[in-house]
Amino acid sequence: MSNHLTTDDMATFTQLRMTAFGQAVIDIANDSDYDDWTFSAKIHHALDIELAARAERRVHKLLKASHTPNPAACVEDVRYLPDRTLTRDVVDRLASCAWIENATNVIILGKTSVGKSYLAQALVNAACRKDYTVAYWRLDDLGNRLAVYQPSDPGGLRFLDSLRNCDVLVLDDFLTTPISMDTTAKILNILASREGRGATIVTSQFDPEDWYKSLHDAVIAESILSRLVSVSEIVQLDGPNMRKKTRQQPEVDSPA
């Protein structure tokens, strides 16, 4: 048996689920640039590579589970234009994710195409990078999903639990169209169960005081409004049509 590490040894590292570490060790063993490194330095270097690879896989897994429509959206790509109200200080503060730890909601308001959804998706990316769990839903799609479940349906109960227990729940396009009374009641129950335990991101074209117009029950509407707004940071977006800006710069992947 050879004492020299080669790619033939990768099967062992893969079996141990240390693929990145194994590849780093093999690269070190076969690269003369590392000959002057101490044994400890080589091991630490390989371990750092393994930890970075595991963190990257974890982020990818969390992003996939979140069902965000744009996993590549990130705060680093947010654009700060002279005629835009969004500032770097606000984005940096939100990207720190302290609001998640404090179970504070983020409400992103603005007319269509100002980049509300992209900012929400970028915050999803930031949250996943800090190991938080996220569930991303357009409100219409969530209403349709909730409508197919019966109270006794095990699949429905698991789905509701996933919404109640995730660290961040995103409700995109909130009340763009009216929702049914049944969906309204279910949304309230979800928000009530998350109160003080989880954070919620809401994007909407309408200011909170106008949400009543899309909700059928004044009491439920007041309860939803109170839970979302009372402990929240409101980001009021204004500025140019970001979709047009994106089309003018095709090399940028849907920047906010």
Q: What is the pLDDT of residue 185?
A: 87
* C-beta pairs of 80-87 under 8 Å, 24+ apart in sequence: 81/239, 81/240, 81/245, 83/239, 83/240, 84/114, 84/237, 84/238, 84/239, 84/240, 85/236, 85/237, 85/238, 85/239, 86/115, 86/119, 86/235, 86/237, 86/239, 86/256
- CATH (one of 3.40.50.300, 2.40.40.20, 3.20.20.70, 3.40.50.2000) for 68-248: 3.40.50.300
Low-confidence ranges of the chain (pLDDT < 50): 1, 248-254
Q: What is the pLDDT of residue 73?
A: 95
Q: What is the pLDDT of residue 50?
A: 76
> pLDDT tens, 192-239?
999 989 999 999 998 887 777 777 777 888 888 888 988 899 999 887
- Helix, strand or coil, per DSSP, at residue 56: helix
Domain residue extents for the chain: 7-64, 68-248
**First-to-final CA distance of the chain:** 56
Q: What is the pLDDT of residue 244?
A: 63
* C-beta pairs of 21-24 under 8 Å, 24+ apart in sequence: 21/46, 21/47, 21/49, 21/50, 23/49, 24/49, 24/50
Q: What is the pLDDT of residue 245?
A: 58
Q: What is the pLDDT of residue 162?
A: 93
Residue pair 46/5 in contact by the 8 Å Cβ criterion: no
| Cα 90 to Cα 119: distance, rounded to the nearest angstrom | 11
- 3-state SS of 26-53 is HHHHCCHHHCCCCHHHHHHHHHHHHHHH
SS3 percent helix, strand, coil of the chain, rounded to 5, is: 55, 10, 35
For the chain, what is the radius of gyration of the CA atoms? Answer: 23
